[in-house]
């Protein structure tokens, strides 16, 4: 899906606020998660479900989602930012053959792993907002790729899901 070159410029354009939105959303998510998780010991408002499910049981999905998220981030980062090519090229192999936005999805899954540690309802709300922003950024980028690549990218969209890999 992403196209790269020596200068790290791709064939498609990135959303103009991409870096800022990602940074703000990550900071906001971890501030809310941290404050809300600490408040579990003090107020116990939005982390009420932690009393129902024990932390050792929650740590299992937290671990697996964290590992899977980091895997997606690493694999897509390697393809997009590390490997150098002479000309920008269309990438539809590797993790990009399972999902069109593996780096975005990896970041979202990584953040979701922290939710599993505390079951903070407030951090889940921020995560959903984060997901919506990523959806909009991905749609913006895909429109540009359809404009530039046409039928080739439309075929890729029909074959590879945007967010949830097919089994």
pTM above 0.85, yes or no: no
- Report DSSP state, residue 141: H
Q: What confidence score (pLDDT) does residue 120 get?
A: 82
Q: What confidence score (pLDDT) does residue 51 get?
A: 63
**Residue 111 within any structural domain of the chain:** yes
Contacts of 45 (CB under 8 A, 6+ apart): 36, 39
**Tokens read off for 110:** 């990584």
Q: What confidence score (pLDDT) does residue 42 get?
A: 55
Q: What confidence score (pLDDT) does residue 2 get?
A: 44
Count of domains observed in the chain: 1
- Report DSSP state, residue 98: T
Tell me how long the chain is: 167
Q: What is the mean pLDDT of each run of 10 residues along the chain (167 residues)?
A: 44 74 89 77 57 74 94 88 70 90 94 87 89 93 91 94 86
Phi, psi for 60 (deg, rounded to 5): -65, -55
Q: What confidence score (pLDDT) does residue 18 get?
A: 79
Q: What confidence score (pLDDT) does residue 8 get?
A: 44
The Cα–Cα gap between 74 and 146 comes to 26
**Tokens read off for 131:** 């997901």
**Residue 128 within any structural domain of the chain:** yes
Q: What confidence score (pLDDT) does residue 111 get?
A: 93
Calculate the CA dihedral of residues 88, 93, 94, 100 and round it to 10 degrees. Answer: 80
**Residue 139 within any structural domain of the chain:** yes
**Residue 167 within any structural domain of the chain:** no
Residues of the domain holding 129: 18-159
**Residue 166 within any structural domain of the chain:** no
């Amino acid at each position: 899906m992403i196209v790269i070159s020596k200068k790290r410029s791709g064939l498609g354009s990135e959303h103009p606020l991409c870096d800022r939105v990602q940074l703000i959303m990550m900071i906001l998510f971890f501030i809310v998660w941290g404050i809300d998780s600490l408040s579990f010991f003090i107020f116990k408002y939005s982390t009420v479900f932690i009393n129902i499910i024990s932390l050792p049981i929650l740590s299992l999905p937290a671990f697996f989602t964290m590992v899977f998220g980091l895997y997606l981030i690493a694999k897509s980062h390697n393809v997009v930012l590390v490997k150098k090519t002479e000309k920008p090229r269309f990438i539809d192999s590797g993790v990009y053959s399972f999902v069109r936005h593996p780096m975005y999805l990896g970041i979202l899954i990584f953040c979701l792993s922290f939710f599993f540690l505390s079951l903070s309802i407030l951090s889940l709300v921020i995560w959903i907002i984060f997901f919506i922003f990523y959806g909009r950024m991905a749609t913006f980028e895909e429109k540009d790729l359809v404009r530039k690549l046409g039928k080739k990218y439309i075929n890729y969209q029909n074959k590879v899901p945007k967010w949830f890999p097919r089994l």
